[in-house]
Structures are given as structure tokens and as C-alpha cells.
Structure 1
């Protein structure tokens, strides 16, 4: 594979992207910094196909990244391969308002061919290629220039390895017939709605202090205000105020700005500075949360109760058994809240009761709840047995 020198000029980048546009797939990774900023600072982009690989310096003076972003977001003929690519996709979205598509994530794919739920990149490389990744450059400051040869080599390795691993995973998916299992998961990863940063929705990420519409209305207004302050200053939202501080202010709003000095998590300076004045104005203008925005009550079905909780536990045990039997990550088959909903009597709008999930797990889950399945031990291993298939004496004892 040809490894290019660090790309710092627009012409070289355009030429590279023109060649890569003819590939069936490209492996992509990014290096970024976000500890001190609201928006992630893109510091390096690595990209490879089966023939060539390069690192691109987005901080290079005058470089035009448009050919790269066009390749990632507009070219539907080239599959974009990431590993745990959520943050990489977010960065592309922040630059373009679009997401890479079509997309393939090897971390998600591993859930369909093994019991690994969130396999790390180092473990992925070791399991497929038998190589140990040098982790020395992992925590480097990617924004500093110049980059060393070791840093660039480390970074490019992420995509050269990925370009070798992806075809192998794809071959196994085709062999097992599980490729279609991942279609929905990959589309979720590429859904632009996951990456929009609407300040009016920011309050939903904060643990809500009860269900009082007035309190929640204040929380929504405060979270919106904090988001805009952080965006404007390009600093992490937590530098403005922590979630717990906003929730506390929403529940116990200060009567005047001077009282902000008494709020835990705020400095004394807030009692008479401009940001404190803006916070107080936000509180004064906050309106109760409308009924149609009130958070849904949980759980989705009837309360489980003691018996229902036991049924949910049995369903979780069944999930572990089935995941082991077919060598798939349990989380890909079903989520805990869906199992609890099934135990409480819900039968609609549950992913585990649809499509391939129903065939692989959902049908047995329903039969377990309905008393048609039982646990048995065979050869020292726990497995499921249909009640109709059990020996008559065992079935009688179980009644």
C-alpha cells in the first residue's frame, strides 16, 4: 500500500479524493481536540482504500477541504468505513450540515459476528490482524504543529488496518447472512438528526428534577441559554455551568442576581457580572413547559411489580443464552427497557418483536412470558426447552 506524505495543499488533496472516488470503500478516521472548546477542533483526517493511504492536515494554511467533504457526504458509490465513528460523523456534520453516506461501522458490525458490544479499536486489530497497536501517541495534542513522523505513522495506521479488516468482516457477514441485521443500525449512525445541536432541545440531556411544568420550563430556558453562551464563546458547556447547577437553579430560582453568589457551582462574581444578568433575564422570561413537551412517564407499560420484575430477569437470562448460542452481542438483539416492557404486557412497537430480531429472539421471548418455554440444563449448560418437548414427569413437576 502506498503511504503519502502529510497532505497540506489543496491540489494534492483534490487529486487524492479524485482517485479515492473510484474505490468501492474508503476507511476514515479523524483526530480532534475538544477539551477546551464547544465545537470539536478537527486536527487531522486519515483516509485509505486498499491501494493508498494519507493523512490530511485540515489546519494547513489555505487548504480547501471541499473535495474531501464532497467525497464523504455526496458520493453514494463509495462506502465510508469507520470504527466507533459517531464523533467522526459529528465533525463532518458540523462542517457541512451533512453526514457521510453510505456508512459502515466496524464496531457495530462486530456485534453481529461476535458477542462484543463495544470492542475497542486496539482489540479489533489484535483479533483480526494479530497486531498490537502502539498506544503511545493516543493522548497526544493533535493541534500542535509540526506533527512528528511517529504521530503521522500512528494516525495513518488506524485506516490502513481498517482497510484490511473491513473486507474480512464483510465476508463473515455475507457468510452468516447477517448483513441485513445491521442496515437499520448503520442508517441510525448516518441520520443527521442525531447530530443537530438545537439549544431548545438541550434540556432533555439533563436529569429532570421532577415533573413540575414550571420547573421544567425554567430548566429548558436555562439549558437553551447555556448552550448559546457556550457556542458563542466556543467553550465546553460545563465551563458555563454544570448540569446539577442548572437543575438546582430551576428548582430553587434566586429572587435577585445577588443571590447567585450563594448558588453552589457558581462563583461569587455572578452576583454582579454580565453573564449573571443574562441568567436572571432567562429565568424571568421562562415559561412553563407545555403539555406536549412533558417527558413521557416510565415505564411504557404497566408497573412491573415483583412478579413482573422476575419475568424481566428471566427474559434477560434468555437473552444471554441466545446471544451465546448464535454468537451475537446481546444489545443488538434487545435492550433492557424493551424486555421490561414485554414483561409488563406490551406487545406493540418493540424492536425485538419485528423482523430478524423476532426470528432470532423475540418469538422465544414471547413464549417464555406465556409459559411455553422453560429453562433446562443439558451437558452442564443452561438452555431453553419448549414445555411440550419436556419429559412428562418433568412437565408435571413444573405445574
Structure 2
């Protein structure tokens, strides 16, 4: 495989992308810094096919990244392959307002052909290629220039290894016939809505108990305030205020700005400065959530209670057994929330009761809940047995 020198000129990038556009797939990785900023700072992009690989320096003066973004988001003929690519996709979305498509994530794919739920890149390379990756450059400051040859070599290795591994994973998927298991997961990864930072919606990611419209209305307003502050100052959300602080403010709102000095997790200076004034405005002008905005009520049968919790535990045990039997990740077959809802009596709108998941696991899960399946130990191994309907 030909490894190019670091690309810093637009014409070199355009030539590379023109060649890569003829490939069936490209492997992609990025290096970025976001510890001290709201927006991730893109420092390096690595891309390869089976014949060539290069690292692109987006921080190079005068470099136009358009040819690369055109290849990633506009070219539907080339599959874009990532490993644990959520943050890489987010960076492309922030730059273009769109996401790479079509897309394939090897971490997600491994869930269909092994019991690994979040296999790391080093373990992936070791298991498929028998290589041990030098982790020395992993925690480097990718924003510092000049980059060393060792840094560039390490970074490019991420896509050259992936270019060898991806066809092997694809072959295994075709052999097992589990490719369709991943269609929905890959489309979710490419869904732009996952990366759209709408300040008015971020409150939904904050853990809050109950359905009190006034409390949740304040939480929505405060979360929106924090998001706007963080974006404007380009600081991580947690540097403005932590989630638990927002939840506390929503449940126990201060009556006046001076009271902010008593709130744990907030700066003393907020009692009389502008950011504190903006926070108080968000709290005092917050409208209660409408019924349409409130989180859905717990379904009939939930909360589970003691017996329901035991049934849910049995379902989780069945899931472990099935995942081991077929060598697939339990989390791909069913989510814990679905199992608890199933135990609570819910039978509609559950992924585990639809599509391929029903045939692989959902049907047996339903039979277990309905008393048609039981656990048994044979030769020291836990197995499932059918219960004879005729037996009273």
C-alpha cells in the first residue's frame, strides 16, 4: 500500500479524492481535540482504500477541505468505513451539515459476529490481524504543529489496518447471513438528527425524575441557556454547569440572583454578574411543559414490582444464554428497557418483537414470559426447554 506524505495543499487533496472516488470503500478516521472546547477541533483526517492511504492536515493554511467532504457526504457509490465512528461523523456534520453515507462501522458490525459490545480498535486489530498497536501516540496533542513522523505513521495505521480488516468482517457477515441485522444500526449512525445540537432539545439528555410540568419546563429553559452559553464561549457544557446542578436548579429554583451563591456547583461570582442574570432570566421566564412535551407515562404493568423484576431478570438470563449460543452481542439482540417492558406486559412497539430480532430472540422471550419456556441444567450447562402445553 502506498502511503502519501502529509497532505497540506488543496490540489493534492483533490487528486487523492478523485482517485478514492473510484473505490468500492474507503476507511476513515479523525484526530481531534475537544477537552477544552464545545466544538471539537479537527486536527487530522486519515483516509485509505486498499491501494493508498494519506493523512490530511485540516489546520494547514489555505487548505480547502471541500474535495474530502464531497467524497464523504455526496458520493453514494463509495462506502465509508469507520470504527466507533460516532464522533468522526459528528465532526463531518459540524463542518457540512450532513453526514457520511453510505456508512459502515466495524465496532457495530462486531456485535453481529461476536459477543463484543464495544470492542476497542486495538483489540480489533489484534484479533483480526494479530498485530499489537503502539499506543504511545494515542494521547498526543494533535493540535500542535509540526506533527512528527511517528504521529503521522500512528494515525495512518488506523485506516490502513481497517482497510484490511473490513473485507474480512464483510466476508464473515455474508457467511453468517447477519448483514441485515446491521442495516438499522448503520442508518442510525448516519442519521443527522443524532448530531444536531438543538438547544431546545438538550434537556431530554439530562436525568430527571418525575413528570412535573413546571420542574421540567425549568429544566428545559436552563438546559437551553447552558447550551447557548457553551456554544457562544466555545466551552464544554460541564464548564458552564454540570447536569446535576441543572436538575437541582430546576427542582429547587432560587428566588433571586443573590441565592445563586448558595447553589453547589456554581461560581460565587454569579450572584451579581451577567451570566448569573441570564440564568435567572431563564429560570423565572420558564413555561411549564405542555402535555405533548412531557415524557411518556410508564406503560401499564410498570413499575415492575417484585415479581415483574424477577421476570425481567429471567429474560436477561435468557438473553445471555442466547447471545452465547449464537456468538452475538446481547445488546444487539435486545435492550434492557425492552426486556423490562416485556416483563411488565407490554407487547407493542418493542424492537425485540419485530423483524429479525423476533426470530432470533423475541419469540423465545415471549414464550418465557407466557410460561411456554423454562430453564434447565443439562451436563452442568444452563439450557432452555419447552414446556408441554398439555401438562397442567
What TM-score do you get using the length of structure 2 for normalisation? 0.97
* C-alpha displacement of 1:55: 0.3
C-alpha change, 1:299 and 1:84, in structure 2 (3 Å) is: farther
Residue 18 of structure 2 is matched in structure 1 by 18
The 1-side partners of 2:6 and 2:248 are apart by 49
The 2-side partners of 1:57 and 1:306 are apart by 57
Number of matched pairs:
392
1:209 and 1:251 in contact (8 A); partners too: no
1:79 and 1:102 in contact (8 A); partners too: yes
1:111 and 1:332 in contact (8 A); partners too: yes
The 2-side partners of 1:377 and 1:86 are apart by 41
Cα deviations across residues 183-208 of structure 1 (Å, max 9, x unaligned)? 00000000011110000011111122
C-alpha change, 1:260 and 1:94, in structure 2 (3 Å) is: same
Residue 51 of structure 2 is matched in structure 1 by 51
* C-alpha displacement of 1:37: 0.4
* C-alpha displacement of 1:298: 3.4
Cα deviations across residues 288-310 of structure 1 (Å, max 9, x unaligned)? 11111111233564332222222
Residue 187 of structure 2 is matched in structure 1 by 187
* C-alpha displacement of 1:86: 0.4
Cα deviations across residues 45-103 of structure 1 (Å, max 9, x unaligned)? 00000000000000000100011011001100000000000000001000011000000
2:300 and 2:345 in contact (8 A); partners too: no
Cα deviations across residues 90-119 of structure 1 (Å, max 9, x unaligned)? 010000110000000000000000111110
The 2-side partners of 1:276 and 1:92 are apart by 34
Residue 285 of structure 1 is matched in structure 2 by 285
Cα deviations across residues 137-167 of structure 1 (Å, max 9, x unaligned)? 0000000000000100000000000000000
User: Which range moves more in the overlay, 122-131 or 208-217?
Assistant: 208-217
The 2-side partners of 1:300 and 1:112 are apart by 33
Residue 269 of structure 1 is matched in structure 2 by 269
1:6 and 1:56 in contact (8 A); partners too: yes
Matches within 5 A, 1:31-110: 31-110=31-110
The 2-side partners of 1:216 and 1:172 are apart by 47
The 1-side partners of 2:355 and 2:252 are apart by 48
C-alpha change, 1:301 and 1:66, in structure 2 (3 Å) is: farther
**Matched residue SS, 1:184:** helix
User: Which range moves more in the overlay, 244-253 or 357-366?
Assistant: 244-253
**Matched residue SS, 1:72:** helix
* C-alpha displacement of 1:209: 4.8
User: Which range moves more in the overlay, 285-294 or 154-163?
Assistant: 285-294
The 2-side partners of 1:54 and 1:298 are apart by 51
Matches within 5 A, 1:159-178: 159-178=159-178
Matches within 5 A, 1:1-399: 1-298=1-298, 301-388=301-388
The 2-side partners of 1:207 and 1:376 are apart by 39
* C-alpha displacement of 1:238: 1.1
**Matched residue SS, 2:231:** helix
C-alpha change, 1:130 and 1:245, in structure 2 (3 Å) is: same
Gaps of 5+ in 1: 390-394
**Matched residue SS, 1:60:** coil
2:299 and 2:346 in contact (8 A); partners too: no
**Matched residue SS, 1:357:** helix
2:83 and 2:105 in contact (8 A); partners too: yes
The 1-side partners of 2:2 and 2:238 are apart by 43
The 2-side partners of 1:237 and 1:5 are apart by 37
C-alpha RMSD over aligned residues? 1.4
